[in-house]
Chains A and B, each alone.
Chain A
Amino acid sequence: MQSLIVDCDCHNYWSSATVLEPYLTGVWKDMFVNGERTGPVGSYPHAHRAWFHPQGFSRRDIRPEKEDDNYRFMKEKHLDRYDIGIAILTGDEPMEASTLANPYYASALVSAYNDYQIEQWLSKDDRFMGSIVIAPQDPRLAAAEIRRLGAHPRMVQVLASHGSVKPYGDPFYHPIYEACAEVGLPFAIHLGGQGGINWNAIAPAPTTFFWETHAILHMPALAHLASMIAHGVFEKWPALYFVLIECGVAWVPSVLWRLDADYKALRKETPWLKMLPSEYCRRNIRFSTQPLERPDNLKHLWGILEAMDGENTLLFASDYPHWDYDDANTLHIPPAWKSKVLGLNALEVYKRIPRSRAAHAA
């Protein structure tokens, strides 16, 4: 019996960022059409990171030429092939607006993307759910965007890059969580947004090579997890889910052990907390699987996943169509966890996914 598969990280690509032109107006359209870009015509305005992928981000068997190819290939090579019941669209370049110093332009770009996503993607396939992409560098504008689209029944989360100007628990960002709580959506961060104003992705200083960097690029996620818990975000908004997408998994228990130990000694710094850091994590934070670490001895991984209650805290993600894609059929988790990790856990977090889908898949 096949249970529901929810892919929590499915990138809807464009062949050219010019698809956003109809969704921009006034000075933002002027700047988008006439302004400087990173890269050639058709690229999306963002500050580039310090590392270039040596062979490009996309799988080589997916080479869209026309805009329509982007959906056609996704349907054929991913959604239909792996029987994906729900795919949560995470865009790709749009969240890179978080790197721009000009928060007004950044906000206009993500708004244009969100409208494009609704009109050009959600309409194509009823398996698609959307993400409200925000430019978090101006939390008040981000909150306004969340409220603008928060009632849309197929928008299932608010999404920002994991690159940011501060750790996400900082009160600076709280208007974002207030808006999330108001519209009832989780706040998710996805690996990305390094460069520009988010200069410190790698704590000591930028590393040198792409693979070296990519393997440790989840570093800011450790800080976000600690910060969200320490600042009491989950005391202010107890029902808020915080989802870490593509930020790795195997580091989580060791960081929680350290947070619990230090909190027990120095609780007086954050008197607003009422539970251990690991208890907030278990209640409010979820982790997407891809790219799931793969030691030679899988029992080593599974022990770690048990330590973070992975059966209930992991959400399957493919990262289609990127070079480090995980496929749903060969996800290396304990077999007894599959129905939860591949789909049911996502239904707990993403409450707008119709429950009937799970029943239908079963």
Chain B
Amino acid sequence: MAERTFVCRTEEIKVGMPRIAKIRQLSIGVFRIGDCFYALLNICPHRGAPLCEGTQCGTTAPVSRAEFIYHRENEIIRCAWHGWEFDIKSGEALAAPGVKARTFPVTVEDGAVYVTA
């Protein structure tokens, strides 16, 4: 049964510095993108690596010619081991259709961040 757990104050999570929290038995990374917060299970669906200890970054936009448009800055987590890219908001792997990191709902109340897991 999922329950809501206090993680930390909003100001404790900086862009690019996710909070890795132990919530019950789960290691969960809580990310800030602008003023919004998102949570991902800290286990990469590729090979089980600590996904959220990778780099929060942007990526190149899909294009039809040799043009390099860096976009979605801070919306991507690049896994700590093998570098697979995931959309922090949806958990979807960018280059492996159908592969998805597990996401958890995040709520913010009075400057406090909660994860429901």
Contact B48 A61 (CB under 8 A): no
Contact A61 B82 (CB under 8 A): no
List which A311-346 residues lie within 8 A (CB) of chain B. 323-325, 327, 330
Contact B55 A55 (CB under 8 A): yes
- Enumerate chain A residues within 8 angstroms of B79, measured Cβ to Cβ: 60
A-B contact count (CB 8 A): 30
Report which of B48, B50, B53, B83 forms a contact with A323, defined as CB distance below 8 A. Answer: B83
Contact B47 A327 (CB under 8 A): yes
Report which of A61, A324, A327, A330 forms a contact with B80, defined as CB distance below 8 A. Answer: A61
Classify the secondary structure of A's interface with B.
loop
Query: Taking the complex as formed, is A59 at the interface, i.e. its CB lies under 8 A from any CB of chain B?
Result: yes
Contact B82 A330 (CB under 8 A): no
Contact B82 A325 (CB under 8 A): yes
- Enumerate chain A residues within 8 angstroms of B81, measured Cβ to Cβ: 59-61, 323, 325
Chain A positions 39 through 72: 1 when the CB is less than 8 Å from some CB of chain B, otherwise 0: 0000000000000000100011100000000000
Report which of A61, A324, A330 forms a contact with B50, defined as CB distance below 8 A. Answer: A61
Q: How many residues on the B side are at the interface (Cβ–Cβ under 8 A)?
A: 13
The listed residue with most B CB atoms (<10 A of its CB), out of A59, A323, A327, is A59
Contact A323:B78 (CB < 8 A) given known A60-B54, A60-B55, A61-B53 = no
- Enumerate chain A residues within 8 angstroms of B80, measured Cβ to Cβ: 59-61
- Enumerate chain B residues within 8 angstroms of A55, measured Cβ to Cβ: 55, 78, 83
Complex CA–CA separation, A275 to B80 (angstroms): 46
Contact B48 A324 (CB under 8 A): no
Classify the secondary structure of B's interface with A.
loop
CB distance from B117 to the nearest CB of A (A): 21
Contact B53 A324 (CB under 8 A): no
CB distance from A245 to the nearest CB of B (A): 19
- Enumerate chain B residues within 8 angstroms of A330, measured Cβ to Cβ: 47-48
CB distance from A259 to the nearest CB of B (A): 33
CB distance from A62 to the nearest CB of B (A): 8
CB distance from B103 to the nearest CB of A (A): 20
Chain A positions 156 through 174: 1 when the CB is less than 8 Å from some CB of chain B, otherwise 0: 0000000000000000000
Contact A324:B55 (CB < 8 A) given known A61-B50, A330-B47, A330-B48 = no
- Enumerate chain B residues within 8 angstroms of A59, measured Cβ to Cβ: 49, 80-81
CB distance from B57 to the nearest CB of A (A): 9
Contact B48 A60 (CB under 8 A): no
Chain A positions 82 through 107: 1 when the CB is less than 8 Å from some CB of chain B, otherwise 0: 00000000000000000000000000
List which A125-174 residues lie within 8 A (CB) of chain B. none
Complex CA–CA separation, A330 to B83 (angstroms): 18
Q: Could you list 11 examples of A-B contacts with CB < 8 Å?
A: A59-B80, A59-B81, A60-B54, A60-B55, A60-B79, A61-B53, A61-B54, A61-B80, A323-B82, A324-B82, A327-B47
Q: Identify the A interface with B (CB < 8 A).
A: 55, 59-61, 323-325, 327, 330
> Can you add 19 more A-B contacts, CB < 8 Å, to A61-B54, A325-B82?
A55-B55, A55-B78, A55-B83, A59-B80, A59-B81, A60-B54, A60-B78, A60-B80, A60-B81, A61-B50, A61-B80, A61-B81, A323-B81, A323-B82, A323-B83, A325-B49, A327-B47, A330-B47, A330-B48
